[in-house]
Amino acid sequence: MTTPWTELLKDSPANSVDFAGSTALIPLPSLAVLTLTGPESLKFLQGQATTDFRDVEKGLVRRGAICSLKGRVLYSFIAIPDGENVALVLPADQLEAAYTHLKKYAVFSKTTLADARSTLAVLGIAGPEAVSAVTTLAGAAPDSEAVTRGDDGTLAIRIADESRFLLVVPAAGLAAQWSQKSLPVAAENNWWVAEIRAGLATIFATTRDVFQPQELNYHAISAVSYNKGCYTGQEVVARLYFRGKLKQRLYRLQASIGKAPGSGEIFSDDKHVGDVVMSAVNGDVLDILAIVKNTAAREQVLTLADKTTTLGIQPLPYALPADKEE
């Protein structure tokens, strides 16, 4: 499929900067948008996802998940409200499957789903002057959980409380955004390093239907509601909260090794105790989000599959609920 990025990325600027010290534009072609339009779009999603779409109806941005009957995450997303409509930002390699999944049920609601890869692009802006840059491109820089809509239809949201923003940009205006000479271009990898360090897990196709929402710490970032009513997988998710024990959860890990892990498994001695959800290399540092057994994380030395690369547990920037853990 032709996307708004197809031609622009061929001619992208050669310079790629780390936005830690300067403000940069970050193309995010690995993310895509699924749009739902119509008066029952939010009501429809309320019965499909872990997110409380009553919050989205109030204009709040929410992360969330669509689960299988076993309560495992099939698709993770960021829900951006746009009046009675909503844009779901999710991995591009998940968009077609998510569209097909939701389409089966959408026929019973007044909502229309559309694969927006050919009409909308996703990009980031981050750095010390990001607020000013987003104000120029989208009319205003939103606070955390809010959204602003530019005159050209650009939607902008802030990631947590960081000086980092995600923009959904109409394809017709993408070239103009791209040509902003005042903003150097940063590699997409920088975005994922920042997401990992923020403890925000994204489910790509390779990890579909593997983890439960609470294991991904989604209940700590308003991505799971326990009082919103029924949705697919809700009974399993609720049972884990009310009656079960969380045996494993998301941890942020680092290793002093400037390459991707050779395997998606985490070990303690010869015992498999966890699995990588996301990873990104930042210079000589490997950043990882992984689901790790709580007992192993508390008491044991964690390594990559090579059994020699030690992983250090790093703090998360948000508080975890006082759940029952094993």
pLDDT in tens, the chain (326 residues): 668 777 777 666 555 566 667 888 899 999 999 999 999 999 999 999 999 999 999 999 999 999 999 999 999 999 999 999 999 999 999 999 999 999 999 998 999 999 999 999 999 999 999 999 999 888 999 999 999 999 989 999 999 999 999 999 998 878 776 665 567 888 899 999 999 999 999 999 999 999 999 999 999 999 999 988 899 999 999 888 777 788 999 999 999 998 888 889 999 988 999 999 999 999 899 999 999 999 999 888 999 998 889 999 999 999 988 655 65
Cα(309)–Cα(326) distance, rounded to whole angstroms? 26
Q: In what order do the strands lie in the sheet containing 31-37? A: 62-67, 73-82, 85-91, 31-37, 112-115
Residue 154 within any structural domain of the chain: yes
Amino acid at 226: Y
82 CB neighbour count, 10 Å cutoff: 17
Find where tokens 């000479």 sit. Answer: 181
Residue 231 within any structural domain of the chain: no
Q: Which pLDDT tens digit goes with each residue over 169-215?
A: 998 878 776 665 567 888 899 999 999 999 999 999 999 999 999 99
The closest of 209, 278, 253 to 69, measured between CA atoms, is 209
Find the domain containing 305 and state its range: 247-314
Cα(86)–Cα(79) distance, rounded to whole angstroms? 7
Residue 176 within any structural domain of the chain: yes
Angle (CA) 323-241-299 rounded to 5° is 40
Say if pTM beats, i.e. exceeds, 0.85: yes
* Same domain (yes/no): 43, 181: yes
Question: Which CATH number goes with the domain that contains 146?
Answer: 3.30.1360.120
User: Which pLDDT does position 185 carry in this prediction?
Assistant: 84
- Give the DSSP H or E segment for 56: helix 53-57
Structural domain tally of the chain? Answer: 2
Residue 90 within any structural domain of the chain: yes
User: What DSSP designation does 321 have?
Assistant: P
User: b/e string for 45-57 if b means 16 or more Cβ within 10 A?
Assistant: bbbbbbbbbebbb
Give CA separation, 81 vs 12, 86, 107, 144, 267, in Å. Answer: 30, 5, 21, 14, 41
SS3 121: strand
